[in-house]
Amino acid sequence: MSTQAGGVPVLILREGSSRSRGKEAQHSNIMAAKVVAETVKSALGPKGMDKMLVDSFGDVTITSDGRTILDEMDIQHPAAKMMVEVAKTQDNEAGDGTTTAVIISGALLDKAEGLINKNVHATIIIDGYKKASDRALKTLEKIAIPVDLSLQGYLKKAAMTAMASKLVAEHRGYLADLAVKAILQVAEKEAGKYKADVDDIKVEKKPGESVRETKLINGIVLDKEVVHSGMPKRVENPKIALLDSALEIEKTEFDAKINIESPEQMDAFLKQEETMLREMVDKITATGAKVLLCQKGIDDMVQHFLSRKGILVVRRIKKSDMEKLSKATGGKIITNLDDINPADIGYASLVEERKIGNDKMTFVEGCKNPRAVTILIRGGTERIVDEAERSLHDALCVVRDIVEEPKVLAGGGAPELEVSRELKKYAGMLPGREQLAVECFAEALETIPLTLTENAGLDPIDILSELRARHEKGETWTGIEVHSGKVQDMTQAGVFEPLAVKKQIIKSATEAASMILKIDDVIASGKMKTPPTPPGGPPGMGGMGPGAGVY
Ligand X SMILES: Nc1ncnc2c1ncn2[C@@H]1O[C@H](COP(=O)(O)OP(=O)(O)O)[C@@H](O)[C@H]1O
d(CA 257, CA 464): 83
Q: Which residue is nearest to ligand X (CB)?
A: 411
User: First CA to last CA across the chain, in angstroms?
Assistant: 5
Q: Which candidate in 99, 214, 447, 476 is catalytic?
A: 99
Q: Which candidate in 39, 61, 63, 65 is catalytic?
A: 65
- 394 among known catalytic residues: yes
Is 65 among the residues that bind Mg ion (CB under 5 A)? no
Shortest Cβ distance from residue 69 to Mg ion (Å)? Answer: 12
- 199 among known catalytic residues: no
- 65 among known catalytic residues: yes
d(CA 128, CA 426): 11
Residue 198 · residue 162 · CB < 8 Å: no
> Which of ligand X, Mg ion, none does residue 412 bind (CB under 5 to 8 Å by kind)?
ligand X
Is 321 among the residues that bind Mg ion (CB under 5 A)? no
> Which of ligand X, Mg ion, none does residue 26 bind (CB under 5 to 8 Å by kind)?
none
At residue 58, what is the residue type?
G
> Which of ligand X, Mg ion, none does residue 482 bind (CB under 5 to 8 Å by kind)?
ligand X
d(CA 459, CA 257): 83
DSSP bridge partners of 119: none
Shortest Cβ distance from residue 277 to ligand X (Å)? Answer: 54
Q: Which candidate in 39, 98, 287, 362 is catalytic?
A: 98
Work out which of 15, 91, 93, 96 binds Mg ion, going by CB under 5 A.
96
Q: Which is nearer to Mg ion, 135 or 390 (CB)?
A: 390
Closest CA to 445 of 173, 111, 120: 111
Query: If DSSP states are collapsed to H, E and C, what string results for 289-318?
Result: CCEEEECCCECHHHHHHHHHCCCEEECCCC
d(CA 125, CA 111): 10
Query: How remote is the C-alpha of 458 from its chain's centroid?
Result: 31
The sign of the torsion formed by the CA atoms of 494, 495, 497, 499 equals: negative
Residue 182 · residue 217 · CB < 8 Å: no
> Which of ligand X, Mg ion, none does residue 452 bind (CB under 5 to 8 Å by kind)?
ligand X
Listed ranges 157-165, 230-238, 409-417, 472-480: which one lies at the site for Mg ion (CB under 5 A): 157-165
Q: Which is nearer to Mg ion, 180 or 345 (CB)?
A: 180
Shortest Cβ distance from residue 445 to ligand X (Å)? Answer: 11
Q: Which is nearer to ligand X, 406 or 411 (CB)?
A: 411
- 61 among known catalytic residues: no
Q: Distances in Å between the alpha carbon of 320 and those of 198, 224, 263, 375, 513? A: 13, 14, 46, 16, 37
Query: How remote is the C-alpha of 417 from its chain's centroid?
Result: 27
Residue 481 · residue 466 · CB < 8 Å: no
Q: Which is nearer to ligand X, 62 or 276 (CB)?
A: 62
d(CA 39, CA 80): 11
Shortest Cβ distance from residue 96 to Mg ion (Å)? Answer: 4
Is 387 among the residues that bind Mg ion (CB under 5 A)? no
Which residues sit at the interface with ligand X, rule CB under 6 A? Answer: 43-46, 48, 64, 66, 96-100, 161, 164-165, 411-412, 448, 452, 480-483, 493, 495, 497
Q: Which is nearer to ligand X, 318 or 483 (CB)?
A: 483
Instruction: Give the residues lining the site for Mg ion (CB under 5 A).
Output: 96, 162
Catalytic residues: 65, 98-99, 394
